[in-house]
């Protein structure tokens, strides 16, 4: 039994279309992904309708401040306190912007699902004050979002999974299962955001059979290397042009792939704590010591992402499943050099993008949090325990009601 029935679930099952705003800001810290998503039903019976998507980029100042929060050396508790509310306002503005873009008003929206901005993630249990726990922290205060928009807001999706013994991540595999499972074909949905993560949907699978884990860095190391070699002028390798003009340096690639994360068996998740500025700094220093050119360094950082993905499939996917399709998503799907490397590493598999299956790759994660919010108010279990390591299924998300609107109505 994967979900329990509640009064709200019975209401949700009525089949009426609900408009839900999904908000996501990933580890790349490039901006807020916001989508108005029309949904009916819930859980496995969810039907996806119209999607209107906007990406609202962060200003360089805001991005810098958020990135500073993520590093213990540069993070301050007063900044965390302040930025929780600043990002709450940013997410509220993004919500109102995407609602306008959809030609709608706040009153037309039933619900918001906001992932927030992860600023720290400790997926492996640690003992502190005699208490052993994992932990994770997303900011972007949902009370601000609910107050500014007058819309019930669901947020803090990761906490309940951690409480149930999980890593609190990955969460998108639930939406992958709802949207992209197939009766005939076995698919991997490969997201390449700041971090890379995969969801394996074996042909005809049930939710219990979904496998998902982080493969390692997605764009995170590529972005950081590009920023260092261009003295901050470029934030990423547009279309993978720099990587395509360089050659992969095997010794440097071997060093990068020797990171212990790649040897760990799933379930596993990672973040800037492992592949952030410390890792990149060492990689750049090694490249400089060896006289490696900038283009070769970017090519090698790109190969790190590609190789870690291909190796993950070889170790943990292909031995158990004949794979038909790999469906790429996230910003990395625009990096031609990276996609070429993946195609070469997986010659037997059809490598495609979300658009080939009728889903916007840009909007997919925002859609995922709209689905999670919809199922939260319906009382459905939405974690994938096999992927997060949780002891059991749980309803993810804390619900901030739109009190002002309900008071007006009564
Ligand atoms: N045109 C492009 N060419 C190459 N890389 C791109 C392009 N557009 C976006 N990206 C990469 O995608 C990243 C953002 O991906 P995204 O899926 O939003 O990640 P996250 O979920 O971590 O925010 C950017 O930081 C950049 O590295
Ligand atoms: Mg992003």
**pLDDT-derived band at 5, boundaries 50, 70, 90:** very low
pLDDT at res. 7: 38
pLDDT tens-digit readout, 153-175: 999 999 999 999 999 999 999 99
How many domains, in total, are found in the chain? 1
Q: Is the CB of 30 under 6 A from ligand 1?
A: yes
Structure tokens at 135: 């932990």
Does residue 18 lie in a domain region? yes
Tell me: pLDDT of 4 over 80: no
Average pLDDT (324-350) is 95
Does residue 313 lie in a domain region? no
Does residue 141 lie in a domain region? yes
**DSSP-assigned beta bridge partners for residue 211:** 200
Q: Cα torsion at 336, 342, 347, 352 (round to 10°)?
A: -60
Give the predicted TM-score (pTM) of the model.
0.91
**pLDDT-derived band at 314, boundaries 50, 70, 90:** very high
Question: Of the candidates 15, 13, 17, 11, which has an alpha carbon nearest to the alpha carbon of residue 39?
Answer: 17
Q: Is the CB of 58 under 6 A from ligand 1?
A: no
% of residues, the chain, pLDDT over 70: 95
Mutation choice for ligand 1 from 194, 195, 331, 365, CB with most ligand atoms inside 8 A: 331
Neighbours of 132 (CB within 10 A): 9
Q: Is the CB of 194 under 6 A from ligand 1?
A: yes
Tell me: pLDDT of 1 over 70: no
Q: Is the CB of 114 under 6 A from ligand 1?
A: no
Instruction: Mention every residue, 6+ apart, whose C-beta is less than 8 A from residue 289.
Output: none
Does residue 251 lie in a domain region? no
pLDDT tens-digit readout, 98-129: 999 999 999 999 999 999 999 999 999 999 99
For the domain that residue 123 is a member of, what is the CATH number? Answer: 3.30.420.40
**pLDDT-derived band at 404, boundaries 50, 70, 90:** low
**pLDDT-derived band at 260, boundaries 50, 70, 90:** very high
Tell me: pLDDT of 149 over 50: yes
Nearest alpha carbon, ligand 1 atom 21: 26
Average pLDDT (48-52) is 97
CA 68 to chain centre: 20
Between β-strands 111-128 and 18-25, what pairing exists: parallel, antiparallel or unpaired? parallel
Query: Counting beta carbons within 10 angstroms of the beta carbon of residue 208, is it exposed (0 to 12), middle (13 to 18) or buried (19 or more)?
Result: exposed
Structure tokens at 274: 């492992």
**pLDDT-derived band at 48, boundaries 50, 70, 90:** very high
**pLDDT-derived band at 14, boundaries 50, 70, 90:** low
pLDDT tens-digit readout, 207-258: 999 999 999 999 999 999 999 999 999 999 999 999 999 999 999 999 999 9
pLDDT at res. 320: 87
> 134 with 123: CB under 8 angstroms?
yes
Distance between Cα 221 and ligand 2 center (Å): 15
Atom in ligand 1 nearest the alpha carbon of residue 335: 4
Instruction: Mention every residue, 6+ apart, whose C-beta is less than 8 A from residue 254.
Output: none
Does residue 275 lie in a domain region? no
Instruction: Mention every residue, 6+ apart, whose C-beta is less than 8 A from residue 181.
Output: 187, 201, 205
Instruction: Mention every residue, 6+ apart, whose C-beta is less than 8 A from residue 273.
Output: 120, 121, 122
pLDDT mean across residues, the chain: 94
Does residue 128 lie in a domain region? yes
Does residue 271 lie in a domain region? no
Which domain, by its residues, includes 34? 7-174+363-409
CA distance 372 to 316: 27
Tell me: pLDDT of 12 over 80: no
> 48 with 179: CB under 8 angstroms?
yes
Q: Is the CB of 360 under 6 A from ligand 1?
A: no
* Per-residue 3-state assignment (H helix, E strand, C coil) for 62-102: HHHHHHHHCCCCCCCHHHHHHHHHHHHHHHHHHHHHHHHHC
Distance between Cα 67 and ligand 1 center (Å): 16
> 235 with 242: CB under 8 angstroms?
no
pLDDT at res. 403: 73
Tell me: pLDDT of 365 over 90: yes
Does residue 59 lie in a domain region? yes
Atom in ligand 1 nearest the alpha carbon of residue 239: 3
């Amino acid at each position: 039994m994967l979900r329990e029935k509640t009064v709200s679930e019975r209401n949700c099952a009525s089949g009426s279309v609900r408009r839900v705003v999904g908000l996501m800001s990933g580890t790349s810290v490039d901006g807020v992904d916001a989508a108005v998503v029309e949904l009916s039903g819930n859980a496995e019976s969810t039907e996806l309708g119209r999607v209107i998507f906007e990406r609202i980029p962060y200003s360089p100042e805001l991005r810098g401040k958020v990135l500073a929060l993520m590093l213990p050396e540069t993070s301050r508790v007063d900044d965390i306190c302040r930025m929780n509310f600043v990002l709450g306002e940013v997410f509220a503005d993004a919500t109102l912007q995407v609602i306008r873009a959809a030609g709608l008003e706040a009153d037309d929206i039933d619900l918001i699902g906001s992932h927030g901005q992860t600023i720290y993630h400790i997926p492996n249990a640690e003992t502190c004050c005699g208490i052993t726990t994992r932990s994770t922290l997303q900011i972007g205060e949902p009370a601000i979002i609910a107050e500014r928009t007058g819309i019930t807001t669901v947020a803090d999706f990761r906490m309940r999974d951690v409480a149930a013994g999980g890593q609190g991540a990955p969460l998108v595999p639930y939406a992958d299962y709802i949207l992209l499972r197939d009766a005939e074909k076995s698919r991997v949905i490969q997201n390449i955001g700041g971090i890379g993560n995969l969801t394996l949907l074996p042909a005809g699978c049930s939710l219990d059979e979904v496998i998902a884990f982080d493969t390692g860095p997605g764009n995170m190391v590529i972005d950081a290397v590009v920023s260092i070699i261009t003295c901050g002028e470029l934030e990423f390798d547009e279309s993978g042009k720099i990587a395509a003009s360089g050659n992969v340096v095997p010794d440097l690639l071997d060093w990068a792939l020797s990171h212990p994360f790649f040897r760990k068996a799933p379930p596993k998740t990672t973040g800037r704590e492992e592949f952030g500025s410390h890792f990149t700094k060492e990689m750049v220093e090694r490249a400089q010591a060896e006289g490696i050119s900038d283009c070769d360094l970017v090519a090698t950082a790109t190969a790190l992402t590609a190789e870690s993905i291909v190796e993950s499939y070889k170790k943990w996917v292909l031995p158990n499943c004949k794979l038909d399709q790999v469906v790429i998503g996230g910003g990395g799907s625009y990096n031609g050099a990276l996609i070429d490397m993946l195609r070469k590493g997986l010659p037997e598999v059809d490598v495609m993008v979300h658009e080939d299956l009728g889903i916007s790759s840009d909007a997919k994660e925002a859609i995922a949090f709209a689905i999670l919010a919809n199922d939260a108010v319906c009382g459905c279990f939405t974690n994938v325990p096999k992927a997060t390591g949780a002891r059991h299924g749980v309803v993810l998300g804390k619900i901030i009601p739109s009190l002002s609107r309900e008071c007006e109505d009564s």
